[in-house]
Amino acid sequence: MKKFRKVLDGLTTSSPVNVGGVPLCSSAAGTPTAAPTPRDIEVAETLVSENFQICKTVRHGFPYQPTALAFDPVQKILAIGSRTGGLRILGRPGVDCYCQHESGAAVLQLQFLINEGALVTACADDTLHLWNLRQKRPAILHSLKFNRECITFCHLPFQSKWLYVGTERGNTHIVNVESFVLSGYVIMWNKAIELSTKTHPGPVVHLSDCPRDEGKLLIGFESGTVVQWDLRTKKADFRIYYDEAIHSVSWHHEGKQFMCSHSDGSLTTWNLRNTSRPFQVVFPHGKAQRDGRKPESCKPILKVEYKTSKSGEPFVIFSGGLSYDKASRRPALTIMHGKAITVLEMDHPIVEFLVLCETPYANEVQEPYAVAVLLEKDFIVVDLTQSNYPIFENPYPMDIHESPVTCTAYFADCPPEIIPALYSIGAKHKKQGYSHKEWPVSGGTWTLGAQTYPEIIITGHADGSIKFWDASAITLQMLYKLKTSKAFEKPKAGEVRAVELVEEDPFAVQMVSWCPHSRLFCVVGISAHLILYRFSKYDVTTEIAALEVRLQCDIEETISPSEAEPNAGLTDPNLQSPQHPPGSPGCATPEGIRDSIPCLRVKNRPVRMPPGYQAELVVQLLWVDGEPPQQITSLDINSAYGLLALGNCNGLAVVDYIQKTVLLCMSTLELYGSSDPYQRLTRSPRKSRQFAAGLTELSDNQVSLELERSRSPTSDHVNGHCTSPTSQPYSAGRPRLPCPEGPKLSRRGPSRPPFRKAQSAACMEVSLPASHTEESRENSFSRSRSSSVSSIDRETKEAVTTLRFMESYARKVDAVSSPCLWVGTSLGVVLVIALSIPMDEEERQEEPVTVMPSGTVLMLKGSVLTFGSLDCSGGLISNPYEVWRDPHAPEDPDCPRRRKLVNFSPSSSQDAAGEGHLVVVCSEKQAKVFLMPAQTRLYVHHITESSFVLRADVVSVCNSVCLACFCANGHVMTLSLPSLRPLLDVNYLPLTDMRIARTFCFADGGQALYLSSPTEIQRISYTQEMCDSLQDMLGELFTPVETPEAQNKGFLKGFFGGNAQTFDREELFGEAAAGKASRSLAQHIPGQGSIEGMKAAAGGVVGDLARARLAAEERGQRLGELEERTALMMSSAEMFSKHAHELMLKYKDKKWYQF
């Protein structure tokens, strides 16, 4: 025991156990309870806690619930704000930064300090924030919290440090962006309007300075009042009162007229020479009345942009304004250029749009070249330089949510040739008709990092589509799209089939399994179907093989743990349900009950398949006695063996996809055989089948909140392997651990509801101890499955939750390793199935594969999640695989095609054969390491008691291996292998809904991802090495660019008033002239940026402004000294003049001879 004490030094929850395959009763954590192992295992572990740190790396996808948009025309970077306080800053591909306001308040408006590397955000909590963009991770430098007024609109003139802020009360305040304090200069609403006006003008909806004179500020109020305020004289130049509410205002660049958009769908143009009435009133989409009356009202025009062009007529671009009689018409953006009116219909409502112009100066010809349109679920840029207004091809992955994401998979360090292969196929199917010009958002810089390796992310969607993404070097680019629905027939009109109960999403992807080396791809769908794909560079016309599996368990019995001998209870063979042949024809009872029919119909004719992934085999579970098949909860495929395995809450099926046969189809109970350690007593037959509660319905459990939080998902498995978008509400029961006093669990045939509509991973939620409102009850997930809480009335099934093909030892007496299938169930049971596979390639095509349960049974607490295989030196043993070969490539007579297998057997990595290997098993509650073939438990670690593990994977990090876990309480943990020593435990991500639980997955190299919103993928790193190198991998948002010079207008144009008048804002708004603002009005909050951010800030915009102020002070000091010297010289000159005058008077009347 000395060597074990060395390994266990410092551990609190690791302990050896007995040599037998059946564990003893659970003992206190960390207490040695068993005899020593057959031989000493000493592994030099290299991982320590200092190797791990968790941090967010990058976020991909479309910003969820966007609210605001801004563009820097000089830096050419774009910012998008969201309703949850998120901020995305985008530049050229690779320049993509995500920030988050700590308050979580919605972003109302964004204002770039153009070409200064700074951004001002106005949030719904009436706070202004100044972000420094001159660092790779932007930080807030200053915040200003308004206490008594609500912010409604902001305007920052180009090359100005004074920000105009309009409020809901109608007042306009001025903020110094250098110091982020309020100026004492305030434009009160009652001063802006006439004293005779009896009504409040409403909130400020627009602020802008006149292009011709920066000293004139145009203020638009919601009620329809427009005021031009002279900042110098503090008086109104003119006031406009219009009947319709104003939504936006846009100036002509000459500053002589402006255009307003109104709530009745009209556009009014006002000339400054005569503001008594509009110069022009237009209803762009209103129908003219015959009797000359005002055109009928239309929907409000929410925003208008009035931009001039050198080449011809100005552009008038606006959103909204469509006629009310077209209620079903989609949202539209209208472009008026001369007499031509173009309506661009959008797929989603328009949130905001910006016209991108060549110049940042408001008093120059704008020359628009594109329109950036932010929609609720998309972002597009329209090319204005072409008459048909095409859109630019978006380089960002904004279409992740094109169909709701239902599952994810993450593969790091893939074979380098797989990405070019997928891209070359996917490029042939790209959409056409894009603008030929380059993407206009081209700011920032990004270079490929030194530590890059091929990474691929796979997303499954509700419409049955699969997307492969290149995720190398923290970027994301779609490589290839696969549609699984093409393998099935479309239901004919009026045809009554089993698919009718699946409603809208019969092809929704539930889980995927991919072997990058052999390029085999397996997809599990919600209709209890599985599709096997092979990759080929050639198109082919062939039939799709189909197999039907009758996997149903109709036994009713009570599972009772044996109190004396675990292996005493045997299964009564009379209780087993008859197994129908897999290919038995469909039939129906006289009552019309569906039986032995699949949910979908596979195409039974030759199908032409383009290059890429081509369907080879479809496996479908059948209806039984009028009840639909249960969701597939686990899947594994092995290309070296030519086998795939699938399981659900009824049992397990093993399929030989080379010979297209079903090798094994057994219920979970039958897999035990004589090794079942539990008594199963017969109950009465089922008398009725009642539909169970659906996924989003909450059962009223009389269980304490803490116990409810500690429950674990089993049959409705929430990890990436075995949850379907329409998981059934069966409980897989508690782990079958000996518990003499515990209540017995009823194991009855489930009440199987029809399939529900496939829901995306984004719309499922977990019941959390937040509130008990009716809304939270309706949107919560009933986690009635528990390994620690039992209910005598709850329906239970033992589901197959995880599967793993590996080279192992099926029995204790085995001397050499052989192909095995490891099976984990929802009751914490691990079964090993022995496989006998012909080794010769020709024999493999014809000789049968033998599949037989070995009788090996191992036990854990909680539903089994994952397996891992290690050699006795602690190295990871990879799965054997077949090297990819194109199945449809032309035959070469000189080089016949043969299968090339790469085998990683336990003995191949050892000095001597037959040494055995280690198996890592992780469940929802604990992890164990077993020594095979002795089946000795070497280590055990109780991961959590109050929660449960959602996702666990054995991953390679830092040239070693560890076990990574994500728990429902938000903790991310890593454990060393094989000693299961805790290395990292961080409360990182609270589980707020099922989206995170269903999509969280780990990858090698210390990376992981999850769906942070219905439209965004968040990637994280949990290794110190990756976090340290992240700074070098991120792109630069700010690049030094010369500000364009203003156009030099001719003498005549300047003489006649064409040039803009400038004035000193500091003279008006500074503390010396305007005084200090009331302290109770707004509170200044220093930024919470990091030290690096503050250092970068010193070289950023505030540092530049501070240096400019210091230079101005030095210049003023020198001017003061010069003034003093000049005054001294003037004084000396006056004294000299005085003395000279006196001397002249003294000698005025004297003759020359009197001197």
Take residue 579 and report the two structure tokens written for it: 């197994």
Give the Cα separation of 882 and 657 in Å (integer): 14
The distance between the two most distant Cα atoms of the chain, rounded to a whole number of Å, is 158
Give the Cα separation of 464 and 526 in Å (integer): 9
Give the Cα separation of 46 and 801 in Å (integer): 32
User: Is pLDDT of 781 > 50?
Assistant: no
Give the 3-state secondary structure of 436-504. CCCCCCCCCECCCCCCCCCEEEEEEECCCEEEEEECHHHCCEEEEEEEHHHHECCCCCCCCCHHHHHCC
User: In 3D, which of 164, 158, 161, 220 has the Cα closest to residue 189?
Assistant: 220
Q: What is the DSSP letter of 718?
A: -
Looking at residue 449, its pLDDT comes to: 65
Give the Cα separation of 34 and 1036 in Å (integer): 58
User: In 3D, which of 625, 649, 638 has the Cα closest to residue 724?
Assistant: 649
What is the pLDDT confidence band of residue 1114, given thresholds at 50, 70 and 90?
A: low
Q: What is the pLDDT of residues 903-921, one digit of tens each?
A: 776 655 544 334 789 999 9
Determine the average pLDDT of the residues in 685-702.
Answer: 34
Determine the average pLDDT of the residues in 1040-1055.
Answer: 72
Looking at residue 896, its pLDDT comes to: 67
Looking at residue 4, its pLDDT comes to: 39
Q: What is the pLDDT of residues 426-461, one digit of tens each?
A: 988 888 889 999 999 999 998 876 667 899 999 999
User: In 3D, which of 138, 117, 120 has the Cα closest to residue 129?
Assistant: 120
Other beta carbons less than 10 A from residue 193's beta carbon: 21
Looking at residue 552, its pLDDT comes to: 75
Nearest-Å Rg of the Cα atoms of the chain is 37
Q: Which of 110-119, 190-199, 981-990 has the lowest mean pLDDT?
A: 190-199
Q: What is the DSSP letter of 575?
A: G
Q: Which of 110-119, 786-795, 987-996, 1084-1093 has the lowest mean pLDDT?
A: 786-795
CA distances, 503 to each of 551, 599, 725, 757, 823 (Å): 23, 11, 13, 5, 32
User: Long-range contact list for 379-388, CB < 8 A, 24+ apart?
Assistant: 379/62, 379/66, 379/80, 380/346, 381/356, 381/439, 381/440, 381/441, 382/333, 382/335, 382/344, 383/435, 383/437, 384/315, 384/335, 384/355, 385/437, 386/435
Amino acid in position 934: A
pTM recorded for the entire structure: 0.80
CB 522 within 8 Å of CB 532: yes
What is the pLDDT confidence band of residue 947, given thresholds at 50, 70 and 90?
A: very high
Looking at residue 736, its pLDDT comes to: 33
Determine the average pLDDT of the residues in 269-285.
Answer: 92
In our burial notation (b when 16+ CB lie closer than 10 A, e otherwise), range 494-503 reads eeebbbebbe
Give the Cα separation of 645 and 1046 in Å (integer): 70
Q: What is the pLDDT of residues 570-604, one digit of tens each?
A: 333 333 333 444 433 344 444 446 778 899 999 99
Q: What is the pLDDT of residues 875-890, one digit of tens each?
A: 999 989 999 998 888 8
Q: Which helix (H) or strand (E) holds 1073?
A: helix 1071-1074
What is the pLDDT confidence band of residue 40, given thresholds at 50, 70 and 90?
A: low
Q: What is the pLDDT of residues 987-1030, one digit of tens each?
A: 988 777 788 988 999 999 999 999 999 999 999 999 998 888 88
In our burial notation (b when 16+ CB lie closer than 10 A, e otherwise), range 942-978 reads bbbeebbbbbbbbbbbbebbbbbbbbbbbbbbbbbbb
Strand order in the sheet with 86-90: 66-72, 77-82, 86-90, 96-100
DSSP string, 293-359: PPPPPBS-EEEEEEEEETTEEEEEEEEE--BTT-TTPPPEEEEEETTEEEEEE-SS-EEEEEEEES-
Looking at residue 1108, its pLDDT comes to: 62
Four-CA torsion 1003, 1006, 1011, 1013, nearest 10 degrees: -170
Distance of CA 211 to the CA centre of its chain: 42
Looking at residue 1122, its pLDDT comes to: 77
Tokens 């686990």 — which residue? 634
What is the pLDDT confidence band of residue 1071, given thresholds at 50, 70 and 90?
A: confident
Does residue 49 or residue 32 have the better pLDDT?
A: 49
Distance of CA 827 to the CA centre of its chain: 32
Looking at residue 772, its pLDDT comes to: 39
Take residue 205 and report the two structure tokens written for it: 């909806």
What is the pLDDT confidence band of residue 1123, given thresholds at 50, 70 and 90?
A: confident
Report percent pLDDT > 70 for the chain.
75
Q: Which helix (H) or strand (E) holds 668?
A: helix 668-672
User: What is the phi-psi region of residue 814: left when phi exceeds 0, alpha when psi lies from -120 to 50, beta otherwise?
Assistant: beta
What is the pLDDT confidence band of residue 1125, given thresholds at 50, 70 and 90?
A: confident
Helix, strand, coil percent values for the chain (each to nearest 5): 15, 35, 50
User: Is pLDDT of 29 > 50?
Assistant: no
